Structure 1
Amino acid sequence: MRKNYRQVPEWWFICILLFNITAIMFICRYYNDQLQLPWWGVVLACVVALSFTLPIGIIRATTNQAPALNVITEYIIGYIYPGYPIANILFKTYGNGSMKLGISFLQDFKLGHYMKIPPRSMFVAQILGTTISALVHLTTAWWLMSTIPNICDRELLPASSPWTCPSDHVFYDASVIWGLIGPHRIFGELGHYSAINWFFLAGAIAPFLVWLAHKAFPNKHWIRLITMPVILASVAEMPPATPVNYASWVLVGFLSGFVAYRYYRGWWSRHNYALSGGLDAGLAFMGVLLYLCLGMENVNLNWWGSEVDGCPLASCPTAQGVTAQGCPLY
């Protein structure tokens, strides 16, 4: 590729980076009353994105898992700059979104490299596609908000209206929790969940424990196959499901992989990606089939697996002095 095509100069990337950072700082400064994010918040968000792009890019390239920074960015700016929900949204967008889109940019370049597409052509196509999509998104959002009355307001919209903006409500809820209320009142000394902060340290130490175990038992080859970022990133998929669903997913994936690797190692080395794709395709197929056969007919299956509640105290009040049946008194 290097012999046949001219590479993309680094100064092209640097110019785009500096232009965007300058534009963002100018906008946040000029519209500070509306956007709330000071200039140092923009710089800090850029530092966070640049710092995590390489390690998370390596994790993505080797495991196909990419941990997100949305909670970390909300946590950081929520502690440093509490009480400003719009600033929290912007910091998360610049810190987490920039890192994710940067890795997507690299994925496109990697695909273009495999497809023997000239790097400069890939670069121009990516820049034009990004610019066009951004303008289309902005124009569409502007048009929708100016033409549809009461958009996103579920109390004023008709029951059959599709303009409820579910994703925007997720952003809004996060801005209130992490920006307006702030993590200091939830995970700090003013909250009840400060012990959760220790899991940041546990997550940082976990990969070193696997490395030490591999050094201590070099003959146990299965130890080096343990990838803590994959295990920890998979937990992000747990909240939408009940614990029994998550446990069954881990059990099926682990047993199928272990049996194939242990007893059919030659087959595993050739068809592990086919097995992974088959499991994913089977899940997607069953999801569509269950929706068509049961969901559209309003048929609900109530059994032990769907009724398991892993946190029976989740609905209990946490304010001091409030009593409720079956709940502890603080």
Structure 2
Amino acid sequence: MWSDTKEAVQKKVGDVHTRIMKKNYASVPNWWFHIILVTMLALSLLTCEGFGRQLQLPWWGVLLACSMAMFFTLPIAVITATTNQQPGLNVITELVIGYLYPGRPLANVAFKTYGYISMVQAINFLGDFKLGHYMKVPPRSMFVAQLVGTLVASAVYFSTGWWLLTTVENICDTSLLPDGSPWTCPSDEVFYNASIIWGVVGPLRMFTKYGNYAMLNWFFLIGFLAPVPVWLLSRQFPEKKWIKKIHVPVFLGATMAMPPARSVNYITWGVVGVFFNVYIYKKHKQWWARHAYILSAALDAGVAIMGVVIFFALQSKDIIGPEWWGLDMDDHCPLATCPTAPGIQVEGCPVF
């Protein structure tokens, strides 16, 4: 990763696609990006310092969050490009602002948004540029398309979110299930819970000697040292090619989506990933090289489009559809609902 990052900084990376693009199209001037950076940073400072300081985040918090996003974007982008797994800064940003500015949940959320989500969006834009690079789309056209798309998407997201919150009864209220709203908002619930854990309670009262989870700090050291045995084994047994394919950060990073995701999400993700990246890759490598990247983008777009279509065509008309296994909002694990207290007997559950 360090060598890839160094080559990217020194602009030594070049392939046939880069040579074709440089020969036929003008690149995007750096000052275009600089103008957007300065403008967005000024608007962010105005948002947090103005409007009665409702977000609770001071100016130095905005600058620190943006600095963290800029520092980590390149190395994490290299990991994402080589492994298709993106490590997150959500816990790190929450930990930093939780220690520096405790007792302020909105400041914690705002800091995480500027420090973590900014990096995620930057890597997503880089992915779009990569796709346009391979498809030979002019870089300046890609820049304009991304800028216009961001403005339109931001307006649509905000308007849609505001409309849902004001029109859908009991939205995101899981306490009313199964008779309440079907909109459970799992990702938003995780975001809210994180603001309470890291912002209200704070890491000082949870992950130090004053709390109950101080031992979890050892996992920072474990995660740092975990790749070392694999690296040593690959040096000791260079003929074992499979050892180099063990990527510990990928294994550990895969658990990042577990709070909002359910087991069925991981099962379907694993089935599709193994089928296309193992079977199709071995049996139909040319097809995989030509279509796998586009197929991944098409699957993501298809889910988003079908979600909109299903809501406006069915759910908004109170047409829920047939009741079947896939619509149940659980993990289909009866033991998960069984009580753990000894001596309690519930039908279908074991006695402890």
Give the alignment's TM-score, normalised by structure 1: 0.72
Whole-angstrom distance in 2 between the partners of 1:44 and 1:204: 24
Whole-angstrom distance in 2 between the partners of 1:34 and 1:241: 34
Q: Find the counterpart in structure 2 of residue 38 from structure 1.
A: 58
Whole-angstrom distance in 2 between the partners of 1:107 and 1:272: 18
SS of alignment partner, residue 95 of structure 2: helix
Q: Find the counterpart in structure 2 of residue 287 from structure 1.
A: none
The offset of 1:241, in angstroms, is 5.1
Q: Structure 1 regions of 5+ residues with no counterpart?
A: 282-290, 317-323
Q: 1:125 aligns with which of 139, 145, 169?
A: 145
Q: Find the counterpart in structure 1 of residue 84 from structure 2.
A: 64
- Is contact 1:59–1:229 with CA below 8 Å preserved after alignment? no
Q: 1:295 aligns with which of 304, 311, 325?
A: 325
SS of alignment partner, residue 22 of structure 2: coil
- Is contact 1:32–1:38 with CA below 8 Å preserved after alignment? no
Q: Deviations over 1:41-83 (max 9, x none)?
A: 1111112111221121111111111122222211221122110
The offset of 1:35, in angstroms, is 0.7
- Is contact 2:170–2:180 with CA below 8 Å preserved after alignment? no
Q: Deviations over 1:164-205 (max 9, x none)?
A: 655443322221111111122222222111111111122122
How many residue pairs are counted as aligned between the two chains? 290
Moved more, 71-80 or 3-12: 71-80
Q: Find the counterpart in structure 1 of residue 115 from structure 2.
A: 95
Q: Deviations over 1:142-182 (max 9, x none)?
A: 4555x549764848999554566554433222211111111
Alignment of structure 1 residues 2-21 onto 2, 5 Å = 2-21=22-41
Q: Find the counterpart in structure 2 of residue 225 from structure 1.
A: 245
Q: Find the counterpart in structure 1 of residue 314 from structure 2.
A: none
Q: Residue 235 in 1 paired to residue 255 in 2?
A: yes
Whole-angstrom distance in 2 between the partners of 1:66 and 1:297: 29
- Residue 77 and residue 222 in structure 1: after superposition, are their counterparts in 2 closer, same or farther (change >3 A)? same
Alignment of structure 1 residues 247-286 onto 2, 5 Å = 267=283
Whole-angstrom distance in 2 between the partners of 1:185 and 1:204: 24
Q: Find the counterpart in structure 1 of residue 95 from structure 2.
A: 75
The offset of 1:293, in angstroms, is 8.0
- Is contact 2:88–2:256 with CA below 8 Å preserved after alignment? no
Q: Find the counterpart in structure 2 of residue 285 from structure 1.
A: none
Whole-angstrom distance in 2 between the partners of 1:64 and 1:108: 14
Q: Find the counterpart in structure 2 of residue 28 from structure 1.
A: 48
Moved more, 31-40 or 108-117: 31-40
- Is contact 1:150–1:156 with CA below 8 Å preserved after alignment? no
SS of alignment partner, residue 66 of structure 1: coil
- Is contact 1:59–1:66 with CA below 8 Å preserved after alignment? yes
Whole-angstrom distance in 2 between the partners of 1:75 and 1:9: 36
Whole-angstrom distance in 2 between the partners of 1:113 and 1:172: 38
- Is contact 1:25–1:39 with CA below 8 Å preserved after alignment? yes
Q: 2:208 aligns with which of 184, 188, 192?
A: 188
Aligned-partner residue type, residue 149 of structure 2: G
- Residue 160 and residue 9 in structure 1: after superposition, are their counterparts in 2 closer, same or farther (change >3 A)? same
Aligned-partner residue type, residue 295 of structure 1: W
Instruction: Determine what percentage of the aligned residue pairs are the same residue.
Output: 48
Q: Find the counterpart in structure 1 of residue 127 from structure 2.
A: 107
CA RMSD of aligned residues (A): 4.2
- Is contact 2:45–2:62 with CA below 8 Å preserved after alignment? yes
Whole-angstrom distance in 1 between the partners of 2:284 and 2:213: 43
SS of alignment partner, residue 3 of structure 1: helix
Q: Find the counterpart in structure 1 of residue 73 from structure 2.
A: 53
Whole-angstrom distance in 1 between the partners of 2:176 and 2:258: 33
- Is contact 1:88–1:178 with CA below 8 Å preserved after alignment? yes
Aligned-partner residue type, residue 10 of structure 1: N
Whole-angstrom distance in 1 between the partners of 2:30 and 2:66: 18
SS of alignment partner, residue 210 of structure 2: coil
Give the alignment's TM-score, normalised by structure 2: 0.68
Aligned-partner residue type, residue 70 of structure 2: L
Whole-angstrom distance in 2 between the partners of 1:209 and 1:294: 46
- Residue 56 and residue 193 in structure 1: after superposition, are their counterparts in 2 closer, same or farther (change >3 A)? same
Aligned-partner residue type, residue 200 of structure 2: L
Q: Find the counterpart in structure 1 of residue 224 from structure 2.
A: 204
Whole-angstrom distance in 1 between the partners of 2:193 and 2:112: 13
